[in-house]
Amino acid sequence: MITEVLTANQLKKEAPVFGQLSFDNHEQVVFCQDKDTGLKAIIGVHNTILGPALGGTRMYDYKTEWDALNDVLRLSRGMTYKAAVTGLNLGGGKAVIMGDPKKIKTPELMKRFGEFVHTLGGKYYTAEDVGMETSDMDTVREVTPYVTGISESKGGAGNPSPVTAYGVYMGMKAATKFAYGNDALSGKRILVQGIGHVGEELVRLTSEEGANVVISDINEERLAEVSKKYGVDIYRGNDLYSETADIYAPCALGATVNNDTINRLKVKVIAGAANNQLADENIHGPLLQKKEIVYAPDFLINAGGIINVYAEIEGYGREQIIAKTENIYNTTLDILNRAKATSITTNAAAIGIAEDRIAARKKQQ
């Protein structure tokens, strides 16, 4: 999901390159171009102190090259924190390919991109993101081993969405314990916005525990199918954000906690899979804190997907993937307690834990 894309004017600051707004001590940024295939890509390596930078490749028809640069810088930084707070020995990276995947994506272009990834010698591992399919990662694998998320038949870890949903479920239970004193979801009214790959599995897990789940989506067919399958209600009002409930689980779009919605929210807990749920973490984090809404940081609780691809690098089996994902429960509780004890936002507490881990490793090096 492309959110918070800054305008070219906002990006053009006095310092021509390193002064760009989204630069945050990124180690390396690689611009890749190939005339024959039409490839134009940027690989952002934010930080490799904990391990090789891992993050997906997003293919999107950016309006300007500045937008693409901003996206890769912002997303790669996010990956550093996601991996660090989850306890993985991975750094943060991301890649963007400019252009409409439906129009210009070809196996030749993907191979050329893979060759550029290969030139980094394992400093950056790529994976699937918006605009990419598992088959594209298989194509990249033909030219470099530095790719994850390949098909199970080719030795990959398979679909990450069920693991992501399980991590979100763990984070949701931890946030519920923090807010209500126990982590039972039974009887809790949960609004699940977006019932795609992750959302549907979250509906399964929560409804099986006895939660009173209400689903919302723009896809009517999916609504009917998921409602029937799990016996859950469909939201039929016109303002989901104003709905009285215990938990709001954003599993569709980013930036749904924004100036427009924040005062309407009546839930006690926000815990979902979508990336970048807070439109502006510096504004909406403190506002949620003031409203005493417990926010489980998105990049922490949706880390099941990265745990799943990390397994490919480490050679983990299913049990280790599940154990690491279950640990999201403990990490979420730690972060919520730390935020409360130090009167900071939960997002800031999560970033603090990630930064502490990176600093400790740096000292040992």
Cβ contact 96:65 at 8 Å: no
Contacting residues for 28 by C-beta, under 8 A, at least 6 apart: 43, 44, 45, 120, 123
Asked if residue 289 binds ligand NAD (CB under 6 A), the reply is no
Q: How far is the CB of 49 from ligand NAD (least distance, A)?
A: 23
- Candidates 51, 91, 160, 297: give the one binding ligand NAD (CB under 6 A): 160
Q: How far is the CB of 159 from ligand NAD (least distance, A)?
A: 8
Q: Count interface residues toward ligand NAD (CB under 6 A).
A: 24
Report how far residue 11's alpha carbon sits from residue 5's, in angstroms, rounded to the nearest whole number.
10
One-letter amino acid of 190: I
The backbone torsions φ and ψ at residue 283, rounded to the nearest 5 degrees and listed phi first, read -100, -50
- Candidates 48, 70, 139, 161: give the one binding ligand NAD (CB under 6 A): 161
Sign of the Cα torsion 77, 78, 79, 83 reads positive
Residue closer to ligand NAD (CB basis): 69 or 198: 198
Residue closer to ligand NAD (CB basis): 52 or 199: 199
Q: Can you list the pairs that 310-315 forms with residues at least 24 positions away whose Cβ atoms lie under 8 Å? A: 310/54, 310/83, 310/88, 310/90, 310/148, 311/157, 312/148, 312/149, 312/150, 312/155, 312/156, 312/157, 313/52, 313/54, 313/90, 313/125, 313/148
Q: How far is the CB of 222 from ligand NAD (least distance, A)?
A: 5
Asked if residue 150 binds ligand NAD (CB under 6 A), the reply is no
Asked if residue 57 binds ligand NAD (CB under 6 A), the reply is no
Contacting residues for 128 by C-beta, under 8 A, at least 6 apart: 56, 57, 134, 136, 137, 149
Report how far residue 183's alpha carbon sits from residue 211's, in angstroms, rounded to the nearest whole number.
12
Task: Identify the residue whose tokens are 């305008």.
Answer: 7
Asked if residue 101 binds ligand NAD (CB under 6 A), the reply is no
Q: How far is the CB of 261 from ligand NAD (least distance, A)?
A: 12
- Candidates 49, 170, 198, 307: give the one binding ligand NAD (CB under 6 A): 198
Asked if residue 196 binds ligand NAD (CB under 6 A), the reply is yes
What is the footprint of ligand NAD within residues 211-270 (CB under 6 A)? 216-219, 222, 251-253
Residue closer to ligand NAD (CB basis): 23 or 131: 131
Asked if residue 78 binds ligand NAD (CB under 6 A), the reply is no
Cβ contact 269:176 at 8 Å: yes
Whole-Å CA distances, 243 to 62, 112, 178, 266, 311: 35, 49, 22, 7, 39
Asked if residue 148 binds ligand NAD (CB under 6 A), the reply is no
Residue closer to ligand NAD (CB basis): 180 or 235: 235
Residue closer to ligand NAD (CB basis): 48 or 256: 256
- Catalytic residue among 94, 105, 173, 268, which? 94
Q: How far is the CB of 125 from ligand NAD (least distance, A)?
A: 16
- Candidates 49, 69, 140, 195: give the one binding ligand NAD (CB under 6 A): 195
- Candidates 57, 139, 144, 302: give the one binding ligand NAD (CB under 6 A): 302
Find residue 53's DSSP bridge partners: 91, 124
Between helix 134-141 and helix 107-119 the angle, nearest 10°, is: 60
Q: How far is the CB of 226 from ligand NAD (least distance, A)?
A: 9
Q: Which DSSP state fits 257?
A: B
Known catalytic residue at 268: no
One-letter amino acid of 153: S
Q: How far is the CB of 198 from ligand NAD (least distance, A)?
A: 4
What is the footprint of ligand NAD within residues 32-51 (CB under 6 A)? none
- Please tell me the number of Cα atoms within 13 Å of 285 on its side-chain side: 18
Site residues (vs ligand NAD, CB under 6 A):
1, 160-161, 164, 193-199, 216-219, 222, 251-253, 273-275, 302, 305
Active site residues: 94
